[in-house]
Structure 1
């Protein structure tokens, strides 16, 4: 009997040691890369370095797959074909692209057109790559806005087609594409059983689980008016976030700063807010809200946000006011 008890104790002890060793064997690996024309960072808490790097490779492949579907710059994508056939004919697309377009039109409707993926038609008018040295003429702005309007994006669910009714129209997913990619990367890793991580698409990110030290992920929001300082640190184990701001992609002309976030109705860069950060369950949804609110402005933007209580916001006005 004594030997049996000793054996049982030994088995329990070995089991405890195995569990402890397994927990201690976890690693936290981070890798940075350029995807979708932007800096991405993938951080995973995994059982070992080799497995973590294999999983990161899978995230990269997933994001590249998404880019090959929704990129407006790669000529071979379905989205590029939709743009080429603007004003000519509907284009049959995969269910994934069709549903992403549906969700984009949802944001257009709830924001009364402040969010509009057809703003892509103005990509040659406003350039934020350092090559712009003068303001576009009012006539050029007015002419370009004529090709913008989500009402002219026609979806046929039965045939899974997208039709841009105006010749010269163009749609793009720069406003929600990175948030969508972050969400899909997180979804893939959760299916693979990865215990925790962050897929960070240039500030649009999705997290799950906890850090290797068992603490929640801590996401800091920097203050563009005070470099090196943060306005808020968000700690949670499952959170998604998106930030729209005018302090990184902009051009200074004639003594005034013009940002890359364009008001679809006026054709001019949005003013009033410097930064809008939205956080909640989905980075894609947060992306749609942050872009909409940047264009709508503080008052109308906060009214829109109140309709979606699972999402919270940090707004910074051009006067430096911080609204949490």
Structure 2
């Protein structure tokens, strides 16, 4: 069970954002080592996948300086996951909408997911790994108490759109324009996707939850029907006019 008297927290600036580790288990030597390894993992991911670093494997692969066979195994894994996400989303998730190879829409969630697994394998079973606002939750926040995650309202600064209650392992990812502007590209038009104002997706693991949130946001009007077709995922969207929609099962998590 979580031991909040010995709470362990760590903040790491990496991958152009902030990762926060909140560990509610009693810290052990193994957990401290796993946390250090999780942080090293995030920096390795940045070195391999950053599109802002000209020496990264993904940048060199995009420029044709190296082949896929020259890349480390994680590049093969990520590109295979991206290909599958593109297929499942009918092309609404794409790693080439801007004409360059950019798997960033999957990599951050995948990296946080792997960091969470490293902690779990070391005995930290009650944790929250927050990668730039997208979270992988495990276990409980305190004995008998679920994790409670406030989702910011995209149109009313300071207000919450909902509070998500996680009674078991859960991933939460939000895509929108409030924090970073119109940064998600509609892969079919090449133009920034601007509707809805925000979309929050919950699912079992962050890798695909984050990826599907991006795809659903880019899809716009057809997002609700598509999310409802996915097994194990629920969503809340706030539209630009203040209206909202929720998938039928979202009430299990959100207020």
TM-score, normalised relative to structure 2: 0.87
In 1: Cα distance, 2:132 partner to 2:27 partner:
26
Match of 2:175 in 1: 244
Residue 73 of structure 1: how far off its partner (Å)? 2.3
Q: Secondary structure at the match of 1:176?
A: helix
1:268-317 deviation digits (Å, cap 9, x = unpaired): 1113211111111111111121111111113x112221221301101111
Q: Is the 8 A contact 1:26 1:46 kept in 2?
A: no
1:111 aligns with 2:41: no
Q: CA deviation at 1:23?
A: 7.7
1:33-53 CA-partner distances (Å, limit 9, x unpaired): 211010111101232487765
Give the corresponding residue for 1:191: 121
Match of 2:145 in 1: 215
SS in 2 for 1:226: coil
Taking structure 1 as reference, are residues 273 and 23 closer, same or farther at Cα in structure 2, changes over 3 Å only? closer
Contact 1:29 1:43 in 2 (8 A): yes
Match of 1:206 among 120, 128, 136: 136
What is the CA–CA distance in structure 1 between the aligned matches of 2:179 and 2:156, rounded to whole Å?
14
Contact 1:182 1:200 in 2 (8 A): yes
CA distances 1:49-80 after superposition (whole Å, capped 9, x unpaired): 87765443222112112222222222333212
What stretches of structure 1 of length at least 5 have no aligned partner? 1-21, 123-146, 148-169, 251-258
Aligned to 2:252: none
CA pair 23-202 structure 1, distance change in 2 beyond 3 A = closer
* SS of match in other structure, 2:7: strand
Between structure 1 and structure 2, the one with the greater Rg is: 1
- Quote the residue 1:232 is aligned against: 162
Correspondence for 1:279 among 202, 207, 211: 202
SS at match of 2:169: coil
Structure 1: distance between partners of 2:195 and 2:170: 27
Measured after TM superposition, the shift of residue 183 of structure 1 is 0.6
The alignment partner of 1:220 has SS state of: strand
SS in 2 for 1:297: helix
Deviation at 1:199, TM superposition (A): 0.7
2:29 equivalent to 1:31 = no
How many equivalent residue pairs? 244
Q: Of the candidates 219, 240, 250, which is equivalent to residue 296 of structure 1?
A: 219
Residue in 2 aligned with 1:91?
Answer: 68
By how many angstroms is 1:96 displaced?
Answer: 2.2
Partner of 2:251: none
- RMSD, aligned α-carbons: 2.3
Calculate the TM-score normalised by the size of structure 1.
Answer: 0.69
Cα distance in 2, alignment partners of residues 235 and 94 from structure 1 = 38
Residues 2 and 25 of structure 2 are in contact (CA less than 8 Å); yes or no, is this contact kept in structure 1?
no
